[in-house]
Amino acid sequence: MSATDNNQPNSWFGSDRRRLIIQEYGIFLAFLLLAIVLSFSNEYFLTAGNISNVLLQTSINGVLAIGMTFVILTRGIDLSVGSVVALTGIVSASFATTSATAGIVGAPYPPYVALAAGLLVGVACGAVVGLIVSRFAVPAFVATLGMLSAARGLTLIYGGGKPVPALTPDFRWIGTGNVLSIPMPVILLAIVFIVAWWVLNRTRFGRYIYAVGGNPHAAITSGINVSKLRFLVYVISGGLSGLAGMILAARTGSALPQAGIAYELDAIAAVVIGGTSLSGGVGRITGTLIGALIIGVMNNGLDLMGIQSYYQQVLKGALIVGAVMLDQKRNLGG
């Protein structure tokens, strides 16, 4: 065999094969490499207690990132998720508090009432954004930036700028409970992931999401109701933001008006690090989950090593920019 044959692009180590392997498995390899490095850097990293802590810390961002994936796949963006987390958390908490001053009349209500209230608020926020984006053709960046401000203001108005403390044990179970020694937030993340994976990979709705993100004009020509689909993905993002907000309130035992600040950045980071293209139409929900785990593992590992959180923000920003640069290089065929 000649040297020329060994350098053919279609050989196992040829450029085409390497590119395909990196695109398919690069995020998993990066996650494993990070875990290996941190395990050698700190003896406590791979302990059962710390792994459980990482999963628990990742659960909220994972839920938000899954909702964000639906939006970004359609060439959208949702900057409002952090504020919606705060609003839904404080509304649901007002139904589940034993505080005489922080709760609404008749509180505490059964946990399912508080959960329903929080989900409805999240869905309503998503529906408002979806309506503005789909019906009035307002850019998603502008619409969700407006909701970011509006939802934060509504949070302060609803709670009077004060936290809602003393949540009932039944409500707090979604944030502090365990099933077979698995934290409830991790179970909720797993359920959301499985449902999202099934929707995107096994349903017509999921195929339509990829079609709209890949080529909106061709999707319209094919008979897809693009406006309705864009409306629905923001409803999904809002609903999952509501779930994340209630998990956060339940974990901490009180709903804080300043909760969720900058959570949208972590969610977007998980999505783009996971390989979903900001140009739409390309990405996998498994990549988003691994992206969320990378952020969680990175934050946890740096904390164990005693590195200040300021450096974590720098590394997170570098990861986002690097992921977008790789995406642009891929889109240009580089």
Could you state, in order of their start, the residue ranges of all structural domains in the chain?
Answer: 49-331
Cβ 84 vs Cβ 241: under 8 Å: yes
Give 131's pLDDT tier (boundaries 50, 70, 90): very high
Cβ 280 vs Cβ 214: under 8 Å: yes
Give 322's pLDDT tier (boundaries 50, 70, 90): confident
> Between 319 and 118, where is the model more confident?
118
Sign of the Cα torsion 230, 236, 238, 244 reads negative
Give the residue from 324, 231, 268 showing the smallest Cα distance to 77: 268
Residue 275 has pLDDT above 80, yes or no: yes
State pLDDT tens for residues 2-39.
444 444 445 444 566 666 666 667 788 889 988 998 89
Give 200's pLDDT tier (boundaries 50, 70, 90): very high
What pLDDT, on a 0 to 100 scale, did the predictor assign at position 5? 47
Mean pLDDT of the residues in the chain: 91
Domain 49-331, CATH 1.10.3470 — does that match? yes
State pLDDT tens for residues 204-246.
999 999 999 999 999 999 999 999 999 999 999 999 999 999 9
Cβ 193 vs Cβ 55: under 8 Å: no
Phi, psi (deg, nearest 5) at residue 102: -90, -20
